[in-house]
């Protein structure tokens, strides 16, 4: 087994390699003056079982290109089997087409398909139906158990798990089951890529302390709208937040600093550091990935 960590997942890849006790393959990514990239492996992979870890986080197009160049280098160098581990899959939210718009998830899936991967591993990829966009087999992993365990000390008898929109209800149900607390959800309408509007809360949150959960936190607009709706519905504070992918783009940090959030928990599927000003704690998904890689390598389905 050989592990290759792409530029977007250097730290996470190092953690996974350490847990597995395997060699992490060195490579060089060169950028030319015109913006083109070239990747060269520093060691051989002929006849080896290669696992390539690379999140397609911002800048999404650049990291997607790096993933494909790495896969091409591994294939041309003679890898016997190639598995892509994509902790965060960019374009996953573009899984439906409206009007004359493009279908980004399908386009991105087709591009990844050119990498000739034998298998793909994703973590909490926004919707389970995303698997239908790919022609290769997919292992869809979830970070919910590890995040729920980290959130447990913030949960009490008067807590409630809250999905900030209908799309996160399935995740909220799993958090609620693991933490043995009730759940509710916010009825939300997205106005643009950064703006959302909350219409109300479905479920009993009065005098309860919310744990707001989601698969990703991008601009912070969804969390901000959920907090406002929960306050209007009589929820108590301070609230907590748990997300798998903390993208924190745009004005997200400024938005979150304004909110009455006592604790925020995020996975390290994308590069993110703990931040005291955001009460942000980072929980590693490396053990989750290492376990899945080990099972796949030895052919264990359990």
Does residue 170 sit in the same domain as residue 127? no
Domain count, the chain: 2
Q: Give me the domain span that covers residue 17.
A: 2-142+287-298
Does residue 181 sit in the same domain as residue 66? no
Q: Is 23 a catalytic residue?
A: no
Out of 27, 188, 245, 263, which one is annotated catalytic?
A: 188
List pLDDT tens digits, range 61-94. Answer: 999 999 999 999 999 999 999 999 999 999 998 9
Does residue 199 sit in the same domain as residue 293? no
- Coil vs helix vs strand at 181: coil
Check which CATH number belongs to the domain holding 16 and give it: 3.40.50.2020
Its pTM stands at 0.92
Strands 261-267 and 23-24, bridge-based pairing: unpaired
Q: What is the DSSP string of 97-152?
A: --TT---HHHHHHHHHHTT--SEEEEES-S-GGGGGG-SS-EEEE--HHHHHHHHG
Query: What is the per-residue pLDDT for 187?
Result: 83
Does residue 134 sit in the same domain as residue 16? yes
> Which residues on neighbouring strands pair with residue 190, listed in sequence order?
196
Does residue 160 sit in the same domain as residue 71? no
List pLDDT tens digits, range 14-48. Answer: 999 999 999 899 999 999 999 999 999 999 999 99
């Amino acid at each position: 087994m050989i592990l290759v960590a792409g530029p977007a997942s250097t730290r996470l890849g190092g953690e996974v390699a350490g847990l597995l006790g395997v060699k992490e393959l060195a490579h060089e990514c060169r950028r030319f003056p015109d913006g083109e990239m070239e990747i060269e492996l520093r060691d051989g992979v002929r006849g080896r079982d290669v696992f390539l870890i690379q999140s397609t986080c911002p800048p999404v197009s650049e990291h997607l290109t790096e993933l494909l160049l790495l896969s091409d280098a591994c294939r041309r160098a003679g890898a016997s089997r190639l598995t892509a581990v994509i902790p965060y899959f960019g374009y996953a939210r573009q899984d439906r087409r409206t009007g004359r718009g493009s279908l980004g998830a399908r386009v991105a899936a087709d591009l990844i398909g050119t990498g000739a991967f034998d298998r793909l591993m994703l973590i909490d990829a926004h919707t389970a139906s995303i698997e239908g966009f790919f022609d290769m087999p997919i292992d869809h992993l979830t970070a919910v158990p590890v995040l729920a365990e980290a959130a447990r000390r913030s949960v009490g008898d008067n807590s409630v798990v809250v999905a900030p929109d209908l799309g996160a209800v399935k995740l909220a149900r799993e958090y609620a089951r693991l933490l043995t607390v009730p759940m509710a959800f916010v009825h939300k309408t997205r106005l643009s890529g950064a703006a959302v509007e909350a219409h109300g809360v479905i479920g009993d949150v009065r005098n309860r302390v919310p744990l707001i959960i989601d698969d990703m936190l991008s601009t912070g607009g969804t969390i901000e709208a959920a907090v406002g709706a929960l306050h209007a519905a009589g929820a108590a504070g301070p609230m907590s937040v748990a997300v798998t992918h903390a993208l924190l783009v745009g004005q997200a940090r400024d938005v979150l600093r304004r909110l009455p959030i006592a604790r925020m928990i995020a996975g390290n599927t994308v590069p993110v550091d703990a931040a005291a000003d955001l009460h942000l704690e980072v929980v590693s998904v490396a053990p989750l990935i290492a376990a899945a890689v080990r099972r796949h390598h030895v052919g264990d389905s359990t």
